[in-house]
Structure 1
Amino acid sequence: MEVSQIEQLSPTALAYLGDAVYELYVRSYFLLPPKRSRTYHNLVVAQVRAESQAAQLLALEPYLTTSELEILRRGRNAAAGGPKRVDPKIYQQATSLETLMGYLYLTDPNRLTQLLARLELYPPT
């Protein structure tokens, strides 16, 4: 995809892609040691829920560039509605993280890898 095409994508489209990128990373992270299918599922769901994504975003923010912070802002502003079980602010933060993940996946995979490596993923207690 060319830069001009990527720039035409809405924050919602980037978040859609970023959601998949983030979940794939989390799934890969918990893959070893081998576990039962249900355990994989529980570990991943605990990390990809909006509350966990919002917490990850707060931990990553000090490492983000000005342009990355702008992508977050666009994603946050595009997050409308959301599930009723989640505070709208939390949902906006999670969506902005997904927007950044989608954007970096398309534009700078090396930077995406750097940021993903900074995530602090823990099994639920």
Structure 2
Amino acid sequence: METCLKGIAEHFPLTEKELRGYSSLGLAYIGDCIYELFVRTMVVTKGNDKANHYHQKTISYVNAAAQTAMMEKIKPLLTDEEKAVFRRGKNAKSPSPAKNQSSHDYHIATGFEALMGYLYLSGQMERLEELIRTCLSDADNL
């Protein structure tokens, strides 16, 4: 998957200066998609199933509470730069309130998604995959 994602990102290159200018919510927007793509791929490759079952399994990994748990899992592994990106995302002011989640979890999840988006857009695919694999390492019980 790393090669596929890298191929997409290479078509839309950003300089480091441009990337640092992106809003945390912009990073979270793309990070949400990238993380969910990994989760959906994992769920589907576990075996053939009904679409609704895929959806139910997926949302158990992509909701704010689950992403908060994932963040706790990878936090000790983060570099100072990654911690700063997460913190910016966590502290970003969202125009919409948290839906069906606590405000705390919603902010942590936004930071998590911003980190995923930053790693993706900066071309750090190996690091992105390493962190996501760590997040999903206990997913064998799906």
Same-fold call, TM > 0.5? Answer: yes
Task: Output the aligned Cα RMSD.
Answer: 1.7
Runs of 4+ in structure 1 off by over 6 angstroms are none
CA offset at residue 123 of structure 1?
Answer: 7.4
What SS class does the counterpart of residue 44 from structure 2 fall into?
A: coil
Number of equivalent positions? 125
Aligned with residue 102 of structure 1, among 109, 114, 117 = 117
Kindly report which structure 2 residues correspond to 1:1-125, keeping only aligned pairs within 5 A, or say none: 1-32=14-45, 33-80=47-94, 81-107=96-122, 108-120=124-136, 122=139
SS at 2:98 equivalent: coil
Letter in 1 for 2:139: Y
Secondary structure of the residue aligned to 2:91 is: helix
1:122 deviates by: 3.2
Calculate percent identity across the aligned residue pairs. Answer: 33
Letter in 1 for 2:62: V
Structure 2 gap ranges (5+): 1-13
In structure 2, distance between residues paired with 1:40 and 1:15? 23
| Structure 1 CA distance for aligned equivalents of residues 97 and 64 of structure 2 | 10
Q: What is the deviation of 1:19?
A: 0.5
